[in-house]
Amino acid sequence: MISARAGAVGDLVAGRYRLLQELGSGAMGSVWRAFDERLGRRVAVKRVLPVDEAGDLRDRVLREGRIAARLHHPHAVAVFDVVEDDGLPVLVMEYLSADSLAEVLAERGTLPPTEVAEIGAQVADALAAAHEAGIVHRDVKPGNILLSDEGAKLTDFGIAHASGDATITATGMVAGTPAYLPPETVHGRRPLPASDVYSLGATLYTAVEGTPPFGRDVENPYAVLYRIAAGELRPPRQAGPLTPVLTAMLAHDAVDRPTAEEAAAQLRAIAQGRELPVTLSLPRPRRRLLAAIAGALAVFAMIAYLVLDKSSPATPPVVAATAAPSAMDQEKAVADYYALLPGKAGEAWGRLTAQRRAQGEDAFLAYWSQVATVTASAPHADGSAVTVVLDLKLKDGTIAHEVHRIALDRLLIGTDTVLTSERTAPAAPPPPPVTVTQEVRAAAPAPVPAPAPAEVAQEADHGKKLGHDKGKH
């Protein structure tokens, strides 16, 4: 029997699934196009990478199979079987000849709002069915949405959490892709169905805007997490009719977001060019009120416990705090910010605090439009601020050497204080060349002098000798 720890074209898995082509790989393993020789159909086989704790791995894959098998929906990839191959589990799933939304965006950049709305409506329908079955996906992102002639399908429930199923992820480990994580997950709280709605909203925002709501810093995902926690969402610019729905789905508080079912109805209305259902309401005060009431009841319960239980001293509650960014993170945040300038000033604007943005985007973009190049060097973090040396070349030729002190708020760029500034004016242009025009006049011909009398007499005598006297022939 072929081990699930390795794979090659032609391998036979569990005695019936023939591997034909590797389609991709990820953190958990690789996905293959295969052929079910027993039923005579194409399938997708998810093989698992080896880890030290094989028992945990087996439990996780079996759990994924159990979760996905609960869900039967036209816009969710079906799981047919979970088999063991050489002691390790393998997922057998529906095969689709499809590209992921991530691949489509890599090729096309962005998609029209109505097309994005249709994709979102289909995925939201699948999420609504999943939530009804007690499943929270937890990793909705462009790479997990497949697009084919059959429409959009949600796949990969590898880190999904189902009600009543034990969480396999180790304590403190963040499961998911940073750019699409909801704020509650970033703060370490348990994901909810509303968390999937947020991640879908971030995915649709990316599809219509070309970048995730809080950036995608591959080299520094920590910065993305801080921006998500701050909740300073940059309003979409290209979403058109999608804007109110995306804003609702990306609400910072989970209670302010629509359900997956409501989001599906709203997105479908946009895709079909109809008015939004009246269920869209921003903010959602009724849910916020219910959450406030629940919180108040919890506080009263805690007070009652402390008052009534006098047998032991009260233990102060543990408050989860987000660790402050390190000096290295702060310095990198500043360096990354200036690396976007001046060419990507719009993206750099998204890294400013709300206080800085209040100064106006137009003024920010106007300033950087005058700069040809900027070089940031020697960033040094000191507390919550970073000192950095800037060398700027303006488009008019001015050279500026400045030292700035940048205040940071959770790795967002705040107050910018110029400590020193030295400017070199552009060199004066050389004077225009002087063209000397000389007027050249033609010289008058020299006069022919008249012959002297003696010369005339000599010519007359000479003529006579030749027989040229007048009248004599």
Residue 46, annotated ligand binder? yes
- How far apart are the C-alpha atoms of 282 and 258, rounded to whole Å? 9
What is the reported pLDDT for 461?
53
- How far apart are the C-alpha atoms of 380 and 328, rounded to whole Å? 9
> What are the domain boundaries of the chain?
12-94, 99-289, 327-424
Tokens 């959450």 — which residue?
291
Residue 450: pLDDT above 80? no
More confident residue, 193 or 220: 193
Q: Which of 139, 156, 196, 217 is catalytic?
A: 139
The residues with which 404 forms a beta bridge, in sequence order, are: 388, 418
Residue-wise pLDDT for 293-334, tens only, equals 444 444 444 444 334 443 333 333 333 334 567 888 888 888
Residue 111: pLDDT above 70? yes
pLDDT tier at 372, thresholds 50, 70, 90:
very high
Determine which of 24-28, 126-130, 198-202 has the lowest per-residue pLDDT on average. 24-28
- How far apart are the C-alpha atoms of 23 and 122, rounded to whole Å? 24
CA distances from 275 to 267, 269, 280 (A): 10, 6, 11
- How far apart are the C-alpha atoms of 131 and 122, rounded to whole Å? 14
pLDDT tier at 429, thresholds 50, 70, 90:
low
Mean pLDDT of 186-212: 91
Mean pLDDT of 214-229: 74
Residue 378: pLDDT above 90? no
Determine which of 272-286, 405-419, 450-464 has the lowest per-residue pLDDT on average. 450-464
309 catalytic, yes or no?
no
Residue-wise pLDDT for 149-177, tens only, equals 889 999 887 555 555 554 444 444 444 56
Most confident of 8-12, 174-178, 277-281: 8-12
- Residue 412 main-chain phi, psi, to 5 deg: -90, 145
Contact 391, 374 (CB under 8 A): yes
More confident residue, 437 or 25: 25
CATH superfamily name and code, 99-289: Transferase(Phosphotransferase) domain 1 (1.10.510.10)
Contacts of 148 (CB under 8 A, 6+ apart): 96, 97, 98, 99
pTM above 0.85, yes or no: no
Residue 220: pLDDT above 70? no
What is the reported pLDDT for 285?
47
Q: Which CATH architecture has domain 12-94?
A: 2-Layer Sandwich (3.30)
Q: What is the 3-state secondary structure (H, E, C) of the chain?
A: CCCCCCCCCCCEECCCEEEEEEEEECCCEEEEEEEECCCCEEEEEEEECCCCCHHHHHHHHHHHHHHHHHCCCCCECCEEEEEEECCEEEEEEECCCCEEHHHHHHHHCCCCHHHHHHHHHHHHHHHHHHHHCCEECCCCCHHHEEEECCEEEECCCCCCEECCCCCCCCCCCCCCCHHHCCHHHHCCCCCCHHHHHHHHHHHHHHHHHCCCCCCCCCCCHHHHHHHHHHCCCCCCCCCHHHHHHHHHHCCCCHHHCCCHHHHHHHHHHHHCCCCCCCCCCCCCHHHHHHHHHHHHHHHHHHHHHHHHCCCCCCCCCCCCCCCCCCHHHHHHHHHHHHHCCCCCHHHHHCCECHHHHCCCHHHHHHHHCCEEEEEEEEEEEECCEEEEEEEEEECCCCEEEEEEEEEEECCEEEEEEEEEEEEECCCCCCCCCCCCCCCCCCCCCCCCCCCCHHHHHHHHHHHHHCCCCCCCC
More confident residue, 87 or 307: 87
- How far apart are the C-alpha atoms of 31 and 90, rounded to whole Å? 10
- Is CATH 3.10.450.50 the classification given to domain 327-424? yes
More confident residue, 328 or 292: 328
